[in-house]
Structure 1
């Protein structure tokens, strides 16, 4: 184990692994790479900047307005934060790729890839946490006090702890630095067994989300209350969009990782283009705020107010003009009025979409 960690600061290790798995050497990359970033990389960086700004707007809207201080909106804020980190991590990954890869120590390489894994895993686990929260809320008729806030903090904490452990396993020792035949062609210092483990975990998460949302829809649809009819169709539409976008964005990356596990070393040249599929998967972080927040009338109005305030302050006008009351007739507001006696964090609606 000492020998393994000792190699974390050996500059020749990365070139050795890339030469073995991709038949690429440092000299070859230096000769074939021009100065500056490729056009595709610049495009991905611009998309990531949009992801960061978009999710930052969500966070400002959620934490600035007390109307959004409910469990479901805090979950949406957690999702936005993980997506913001995913965009930031992918920018760093792009800037330290190509010829700069061979300037990294293995420990820096593990941090580069591990940070991206942590951020993207946190985004996926946040989707699962939202599904769990909605399922528990929809099956409870009564509003059940402090248990809701405890459950919220537990799910958010579990989301990040699991993501950090999952992304940190390679740097902790689950890698292929002493066993080149087990190395991944997509991520040359990662073990194929670790890649298989990650794919299995993500597949289980996807299946769990599908099962939870199907059960939610069946419960709402079977309800005989008139108030449940409208949320049932709205929920079905939202779930269809969420699952469709999730599958569409992540399926190419899953296919690449499965090929990576099953192919022999240098046996599948298509794996050398896997970075495009990971870039495409990052679009999920771009679309999540649109799906989970822009479908809310309250959130859309808050977005406009935040942007209006920014424009007013940039033009040197009085900040009092920003204090526009938020009015809405959404189900969440009705629920808030219904339970005014509770603390803001405990206010929620079991049929909110």
Structure 2
């Protein structure tokens, strides 16, 4: 790859990482520090933000591997784990945790819309956070299977892209997780649409916001999953390291997938007045105080 191409990719990657860090840290602070934002539903948004934040730490490491690890290196197993498996694991954790938290958001919205009284009585922030923690434990366990389900072979020269994930792992873990998430989300929101006409305007706005989050997720992740599909099912005939067009396709789908991690805070800003207000107060270093009449006012820390 030409130096100009590498510099352009590194610049785009830097902007993506910056947007991911700023947007998701704002979301995490808003949910944890703003009382009005600490709703049950927003605990799942918090889980999604943490999953997205993982991508910001994984992206630079993966680019180092793509640009600087030779496709013809012969790895010992510890070197293979450090150079090929470790960069991929945070992305897999983020992917599976995002899938599970999107499902939790969808199930929570379906429960809240179809049976609001029962939802308020049963669901709590503690239960929601427990569900989020379980999603990350499951994601971590499933990603750790990469230590076993990979194609590393001793005394064989092969690029990371052909060895860090086995056909079995992709076919039995990653692909089913992605496909089942999309199917279950469509089923959940199909049911939600049947009762949407009877819910309040605020609830409808919330449903639109979540639908936009899911749509962006599908658009950003689908090309990446298709690329993985091609790599796994036709590894011998698709040399991404030597074919310039395929090499750019590899990096392009990878960056598109990563860019999904900064889109959610933008969607919150566009579609949620509460998030928009919370972001503004955090950026301007304002905090809510309760006046004597019980009303809430935003005040600056400089006052």
Same fold (TM over 0.5): yes
Instruction: Answer with 160-169 or 184-193: which moved more.
Output: 184-193
2:87 to 112, 130, 137: 112
Secondary structure of the structure 1 residue equivalent to 2:236: coil
Pick aligned residue for 2:201 from 230, 234, 242: 230
For 2:90 and 2:260, locate their aligned partners in 1 and report how far apart those are by CA, in whole Å.
17
Please say if 1:135 is aligned against 2:99. Answer: no
* Bigger CA radius of gyration: 1
For residues 67 and 23 of structure 2, what CA distance do their matches in structure 1 show? 28
Quote the Cα distance in structure 2 between the aligned partners of 1:256 and 1:36: 21
Displacement of 1:44 after TM fit? 1.2
- For structure 2, the residue ranges without an aligned partner over 5 or more in a row are 292-303
The answer to whether residue 287 in structure 2 is matched with residue 323 in structure 1 is yes
Task: Assess if the C-alpha contact under 8 Å between 1:71 and 1:148 holds in 2.
Answer: yes
CA contact (8 A) 2:106 2:189 kept: yes
| Range with greater deviation from structure 2 (228-237 or 148-157) | 228-237
Question: Does residue 243 of the first structure (1) align with residue 214 of the second (2)?
Answer: yes
Q: Are residues 1:196 and 2:171 paired?
A: yes
With over 3 angstroms needed to count, the CA separation of the structure-2 counterparts of 1:138 and 1:180, relative to structure 1, is farther
Match of residue 264 from structure 2: 288
Match of 1:344 in 2: none
Contact 1:126 1:159 in 2 (8 A): yes
Say what the alpha-carbon RMSD is for the aligned residues.
Answer: 3.1
Q: Deviations over 1:238-261 (max 9, x none)?
A: 354233312211121121122223
Q: Who is 1:345 aligned against? A: none
Which residue of the partner structure matches residue 8 of structure 2? 39
Secondary structure (helix, strand or coil) at the match of 2:237 reads coil
Matched, 1:165 2:165: no
Mapped contact 2:51–2:98 kept (Cα < 8 A):
yes
Q: 1:124 to 1:185 in 2, by over 3 A?
A: same
Q: TM-score if structure 1 supplies the norm length? A: 0.69
Contact kept in structure 2, 1:61 and 1:303, CA below 8 Å: yes
- Counterpart contact for 2:23–2:265, Cα < 8 Å: yes
Partner of 1:11: none
Shift of 1:303: 0.9
Number of aligned residue pairs: 277
Q: Is the 8 A contact 1:82 1:119 kept in 2?
A: yes
Instruction: Map 1:22-101; keep pairs closer than 5 Å.
Output: 38-100=7-69
TM-score of the superposed pair, with normalisation by structure 2: 0.79
State the match for 1:260 in structure 2.
Answer: 231
Of 125, 142, 145, the residue aligned with 2:100 is 125
